[in-house]
Amino acid sequence: MADVDSSRIVFLGPPNSGKGTQAVRLAETLEIPPISTGEMLRQAVTDGSELGLRVEAVMNRGDLVSDELMAEVVRNRLARPDAEEGFLLDGYPRTLPQAATLDAILASRDVELHDVVLLDAPEEVLVARALGRGRKDDREAVVRERIRVYFEKTAPLVELYDERGLLRRVDGDHEMDRVERAILDSLEGGPT
The nearer residue to ligand ADP, 77 or 174, going by C-beta atoms, is 77
- Rounded CA separation 41/25 (Å): 20
The nearer residue to ligand ADP, 3 or 39, going by C-beta atoms, is 39
Residue 65 contacts ligand ADP per CB under 6 A: yes
Question: Are 110 and 155 within 8 A, CB to CB?
Answer: no
Helix (H/G/I), strand (E/B), else coil: 107: helix
- Rounded CA separation 108/57 (Å): 33
CB of 20 to ligand ADP, least distance (A): 5
Is residue 181 flagged as an active site residue? Answer: no
CB of 40 to ligand ADP, least distance (A): 8
Q: Which of 78, 99, 139 is nearest to 12 (CA)?
A: 99
Catalytic residue among 61, 80, 109, 133: 133
Residue 64 contacts ligand ADP per CB under 6 A: yes
Residue 58 contacts ligand ADP per CB under 6 A: yes
- When binding is defined by CB under 6 A, the residue of 23, 27, 59, 118 that contacts ligand ADP is 59
Catalytic residue among 8, 25, 94, 168: 94
Q: Which residues share a beta bridge with 120? A: 171
Residue ranges of E strands in 50-143: 86-90, 115-120
Question: Are 101 and 10 within 8 A, CB to CB?
Answer: no
CB of 64 to ligand ADP, least distance (A): 4
Q: Which residues share a beta bridge with 7? A: 86
Catalytically active residues, by annotation: 19, 94, 133, 135, 146
Residues near ligand ADP (CB under 6 A) are 15, 20, 37-38, 41, 58-59, 62-65, 70, 91-92, 94, 98, 146
